[in-house]
Amino acid sequence: MQDFNSTLSRRSLLRGSALLGAGLAGGLALPRWAYANAAAEAQFPAVARMVGDYVGAGKLANAVAALGFGSAPLLEVARGNLALDVARPADLDSLYRIYSMTKPITGMAAMMLIDEGKLRLDQPIADLMPRYAKMQVQVTPDGSVTELKPAQTQITVRQLLTHTAGLGYSIIQKGPLKDAYEKAGLLPGQITRLPVPGVPSGKPLPSLALFADKLAEMPLVYEPGTRWSYSVGLDLLGRVIEIVSGKRFDLFLQERIFDPCAMTSTGFRVPAREAGRLTTNYGVFNGALVPIDAGENSIFLEAPAFPFGGAGLVTSPRDYDRFLAMLLGYGMSGPVRVMSEAAVRLGTSNLLPGGADTGGTWAANAGFGAGGRVGLGADAGTFGWSGAAGTVAFVNLRVGVRAGFYTQFMPSSSYPISDEFPKALLADVTMKKAA
């Protein structure tokens, strides 16, 4: 199996806007899913066609598109069941492993502390974790872990947010550094209990504090601030948040984001009573779907080693839309102020350090904000990211749109969903504007 992270880069992001119309097809004896989706499918035929084609062809067990404009109610386009062998339809309240779509949530949590003056964007993390004061850098990226040179600058909070700290990632690196990460238990998430080719079988460290301490012993891949390189930066940022806030990272997210946004189905562990809502995650092997983490006995029903700020959350399409709607409302979730407008504007802006090289990376031709890709030029206003199991979500603050696509398959490179979904939505919006 290939690496289990995908991103919103290399994609055309939404550029258009439209007003949501009204009208539900009536008078027909429609199946439950068709009745529930009729209004959305009339307005988003390209998205509906994409969802229907993937599930109808058996490429996906299910797919849910969650779409909204401004403060309008969320619309749903859904097909399929929670699993190929389960009769329960997938919908806005089904549970999905969102993996790297956790990163923007962690990023916005950090922005809250920056806004409150408890953390500085360009603050060296060695102020909080002295083990990071004297880091070593590989002479050859992904080469020897013994041929090293002293880092010329210190890692900052900005660099953790934007994957420019020079840190590695066991799912990205090759050779000795990848082996060293896995041997040390520096695993950034969980996938399955099954022995699946390409999925690390090691055991992660038992706490976020130990993760941070052990990571400080590893060489950097690049000099801090010089290169965009996908990393465990957002996981390490979870430890920064713990230190600065004085609270466990997962508790901070619960109190400061999930509760005020009414995200009642989001967390690092799925309660046993909610197992019936959890979708099955599939591996795509030779074009066939093979279950690698069944909903009824998922690894996510157990407490994780620690809260993975880069890839650990399970949520529902409805819940994640509440996070997106909060961003679209510049920090407001309904009548509740969750973040300041200034914090949202800063977190969704281009925070890349000056001179950082993004060429040939997933951040090429774009900016990067607090854990998510930032559109530039015609894509200005777009902020979002995607997940290793095929999920993708973004907002466009300029035109007032929020959108997410939810399904479960690995590796995410098996299907070009993260390219096709924004393009399908753009086609629908463009058509509606022209009408």
Range in 16-25, 384-393, 413-422 with the lowest mean pLDDT: 16-25
Q: Say what the pLDDT of residue 36 is.
A: 56
Residue 424 has pLDDT above 80, yes or no: yes
At residue 249 the predicted structure's pLDDT band, cuts being 50, 70 and 90, is very high
Q: Say what the pLDDT of residue 166 is.
A: 98
SS3 136: strand
Q: Which helix (H) or strand (E) holds 115?
A: helix 103-115
CA distances from 364 to 11, 41, 161, 223, 228 (A): 10, 33, 16, 19, 9
Q: Which residues, at least 6 apart from 285, have a Cβ–Cβ distance to it below 8 Å?
A: none
Mean pLDDT of the chain: 91
Q: Say what the pLDDT of residue 435 is.
A: 65
Residue 125 has pLDDT above 80, yes or no: yes
Nearest to 207 by CA among 305, 297, 124: 305
Q: What percent of the chain stands above pLDDT 90?
A: 84
169 neighbors 230 (Cβ within 8 angstroms): yes
pLDDT (tens digit per residue) in 159-197: 999 999 999 999 999 899 999 999 999 999 999 999 887
- Separation CA 256–CA 259 (nearest Å): 7
Q: Say what the pLDDT of residue 13 is.
A: 34
Q: Which residues, at least 6 apart from 357, have a Cβ–Cβ distance to it below 8 Å?
A: 226, 227, 228
**Interhelix angle for 45-56 vs 32-43, to 10°?**
140
Domain 104-247 top-level CATH class: alpha beta
DSSP codes, 389-418:
TS-EEEEETTTTEEEEEE--EESGGGS-HH
Q: Where are the alpha helices (DSSP H) in 351-400?
A: none
Q: Say what the pLDDT of residue 40 is.
A: 87
Calculate the CA dihedral of residues 134, 140, 145, 150 and round it to 10 degrees.
Answer: -20
Q: Which residues, at least 6 apart from 394, have a Cβ–Cβ distance to it below 8 Å?
A: 8, 13, 14, 324, 372, 382, 383, 384, 385, 402, 403, 404, 422
Do 32-102+252-434 and 104-247 agree at the fold level? yes
Q: Residue 231 is which amino acid?
A: S
Report, as an integer, the average pLDDT of 197-205: 82
- Separation CA 119–CA 131 (nearest Å): 18
Residue 427 has pLDDT above 70, yes or no: yes
In the CATH hierarchy, which fold is given to the domain comprising 32-102+252-434? Beta-lactamase (3.40.710)
Q: Has this prediction a pTM greater than 0.85?
A: yes
Q: Say what the pLDDT of residue 38 is.
A: 79
CA distances from 376 to 111, 227, 341, 381, 419 (A): 21, 19, 20, 8, 17
Q: Say what the pLDDT of residue 200 is.
A: 75
DSSP codes, 188-245:
-----SS--TTS--S---SSHHHHHHHHTTSPBSS-TTSB----SHHHHHHHHHHHHH
At residue 59 the predicted structure's pLDDT band, cuts being 50, 70 and 90, is very high
254 neighbors 262 (Cβ within 8 angstroms): no
CA distances from 196 to 2, 4, 289, 400 (A): 11, 12, 13, 41
CA distances from 104 to 110, 210, 233 (A): 10, 23, 12
- Separation CA 62–CA 349 (nearest Å): 33
- Separation CA 199–CA 2 (nearest Å): 8
DSSP codes, 280-347:
PEEEEETTEEEEEE-GGG-GGGSPPSS--TTT--EE-HHHHHHHHHHHHTTTEETTEE-S-HHHHHHH
Range in 196-205, 241-250, 407-416, 420-429 with the lowest mean pLDDT: 196-205
Listed by start position, the domains of the chain span: 32-102+252-434, 104-247
